[in-house]
Amino acid sequence: MPNKRRPVFLNLLQFRFPIPAIMSIVHRASGAVMVLAVPLFLYLLEISLSGEAGFVRAAEILDCGVVRFLLFFFIWGVIHHLLAGIRYLLIDFDIGVDRETGTRSAWGVLVAAPILTLLLGAML
């Protein structure tokens, strides 16, 4: 008798996740971005504190286009993680728990984070 309970392939790209679920996934990704950026910033801190030549070298590294992009991406990660963290903190206090408010606050985080990133990134 063939096994009728065989594993089924689920294509996650076919699912339609609600906006709060997408925001939650992006919140985790922004946390990962921040963790992965720690070695770069520790390296830059180390060489910048080694002396005047090290400080100049750190400034040159930060002036590189690829590093500027990574810095821009890191700024987005911090801003998104902060806004989403505030949203989750409010949910912990039973503020914005209902579906409509939760969806609006998720959209607010997803829209505000890139806008604030562009505003702060323009100062680089």
Domain count, the chain: 1
The confidence score (pLDDT) of residue 9 equals 77
pLDDT reading at 2 higher than 80: no
* Residue 55 covered by a domain: yes
Looking at this protein, which amino acid is placed at residue 121?
Answer: G
pLDDT reading at 3 higher than 80: no
* Residue 1 covered by a domain: no
The DSSP line for the chain is ---TT------GGG----HHHHHHHHHHHHHHHHHHHHHHHHHHHHHHTS-HHHHHHHHHHHHSHHHHHHHHHHHHHHHHHHHHHHHHHHHHTTSS-SHHHHHHHHHHHHHHHHHHHHHHHTT-
The confidence score (pLDDT) of residue 8 equals 78
- Both structure tokens of 16: 């339609």
Q: Output the domain CATH number for residue 88.
A: 1.20.1300.10
Q: What is the pLDDT of residues 19-43, one digit of tens each?
A: 999 999 999 999 999 999 999 999 9
* Residue 13 covered by a domain: no
The confidence score (pLDDT) of residue 53 equals 96
CA distance 69 to 79: 15
CA distance 68 to 66: 5
* Residue 30 covered by a domain: no
The confidence score (pLDDT) of residue 121 equals 84
Query: For residues 96 and 90, is the Cβ–Cβ distance under 8 A?
Result: yes
Range of the domain at 90: 40-121
pLDDT reading at 1 higher than 70: no
Q: What is the pLDDT of residues 82-119, one digit of tens each?
A: 999 999 999 999 998 899 999 999 999 999 999 999 99
